[in-house]
């Protein structure tokens, strides 16, 4: 299977720094093409969120370049090994960032949402409220928000409408760097040929609809990387025009 990919990130209309970080990679291996993308959203209300997100991105990028590709080329790849490696990275970064925060008297943290596309499967690791989607002729959210309001909605204690204006809407249940214990969510699924796999920080999705996503970056309208980047830029500008105040990041990988 082959992949085309694109991304866009913007500081937005009100922040002084872009606390979002990302990586996106498409590489040829002895087992065929492999694609990986990750989005980390540094905590807006916490100090040094941009440092936290970049550190986690660098750790995952180093793993991809120096561990994963070697595993794949030497027939050492397995789901169990991948989950162990990803969990080790997250636990190590949570400890490292936590210790840095204690040493400097600050609190810093980041969400993590990453996807690996290999052969006919996708693998996802997720902490926080950045999201992973699969776009076909519809939009399917592949991750669950680890937030206070998501938990309340799931328990029937809050409606979707109430959640939109609840002052606790940005409260995370866990993040990397600012949580004593982090329990990542791992997901595996079958890759859909022709689908677009989209990752985004929460700033990207607050003020656009699923239909607008399909209209600009859905598989029916993007056939090359230029189309994909244009769609990402267009939707980001749309979100800013609608007064989104957060940083905005989106990555897209289409299976072809």
For residue 13, the domain's CATH number is 3.60.40.10
Residue 164, pLDDT > 80, answer no
What is the pLDDT averaged over residues 214-243? 97
Q: How confident is the model at residue 160 (pLDDT cuts 50, 70, 90)?
A: confident
What is the pLDDT averaged over residues 112-123? 97
> Residue 88 domain-assigned?
yes
Helix ranges (H only) for the chain are 49-63, 69-73, 79-104, 148-154, 160-165, 202-205, 210-217, 225-241
Percent of the chain beyond pLDDT 90?
86
What is the pLDDT averaged over residues 127-141? 98
What is the pLDDT averaged over residues 102-115? 94
**pLDDT, position 47:** 65
How far is residue 163's CA from residue 76's CA, in Å, rounded to a whole number?
Answer: 45
> Residue 69 domain-assigned?
yes
130 backbone dihedrals φ, ψ, rounded to 5°: -70, 165
Place of tokens 């025009």: 241
Whole-structure pTM value: 0.96
> Residue 150 domain-assigned?
yes
> Residue 27 domain-assigned?
yes
> Residue 174 domain-assigned?
yes
Calculated CA dihedral for residues 39, 59, 45, 107, nearest 10 degrees: 160
> Residue 149 domain-assigned?
yes
Residue ranges making up the domain that contains 49: 6-255
Residue 45, pLDDT > 70, answer no
Of 8-17, 35-44, 115-124, 160-169, the one with minimum mean pLDDT is: 160-169
Give the DSSP letter string of 58-88.
HHHHHHIIIIIHHHHHTT---HHHHHHHHHH
Report how far Cα 6 is from the mean position of its chain's Cα atoms.
14
How far is residue 250's CA from residue 113's CA, in Å, rounded to a whole number?
Answer: 11
> Residue 131 domain-assigned?
yes
Tens digits of residue pLDDT in 135-144: 999 999 999 9
Place of tokens 């087992």: 31
Residue 208, pLDDT > 70, answer yes
What is the pLDDT averaged over residues 135-157? 93
Quote the number of domains for the chain: 1
Q: How confident is the model at residue 46 (pLDDT cuts 50, 70, 90)?
A: low
What is the pLDDT averaged over residues 130-137? 98
Q: How confident is the model at residue 145 (pLDDT cuts 50, 70, 90)?
A: very high
> Residue 1 domain-assigned?
no
DSSP-assigned beta bridge partners for residue 42: 110
Angle between helices 49-63 and 79-104 (to 10 degrees): 150
């Amino acid at each position: 299977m082959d992949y085309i990919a694109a991304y866009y990130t913007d500081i937005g209309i009100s922040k002084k720094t872009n606390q979002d970080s990302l990586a996106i990679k498409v590489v040829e291996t002895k087992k065929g093409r492999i694609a990986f993308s990750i989005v980390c959203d540094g905590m807006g209300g916490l100090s040094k969120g941009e440092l936290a997100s970049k550190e986690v991105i660098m750790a995952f990028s180093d793993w991809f370049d120096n561990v994963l590709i070697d595993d794949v080329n030497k027939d050492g790849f397995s789901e169990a090994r991948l989950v162990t490696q990803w969990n080790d990275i997250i636990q190590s970064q949570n400890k490292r960032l936590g210790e840095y925060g204690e040493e400097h008297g600050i609190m810093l943290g980041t969400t993590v949402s990453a996807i690996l596309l290999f052969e006919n499967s996708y693998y996802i690791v997720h902490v926080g409220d950045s999201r992973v989607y699969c776009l076909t002729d519809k939009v399917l959210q592949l991750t669950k928000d680890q937030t206070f309001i998501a938990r309340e909605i799931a328990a029937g204690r809050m409606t979707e409408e109430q959640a939109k204006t609840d002052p606790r809407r940005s409260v995370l249940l866990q993040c990397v760097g600012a949580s004593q214990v982090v329990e990542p969510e791992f997901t595996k699924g079958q890759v859909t040929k022709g689908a677009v796999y989209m990752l985004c920080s929460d700033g990207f999705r607050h003020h656009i609809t699923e239909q607008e996503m399909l209209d600009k970056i859905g598989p029916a309208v993007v056939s090359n990387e230029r189309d994909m980047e244009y769609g990402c830029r267009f939707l980001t500008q749309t979100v800013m025009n609608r007064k989104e105040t957060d940083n905005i990041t989106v990555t897209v990988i289409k299976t072809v």
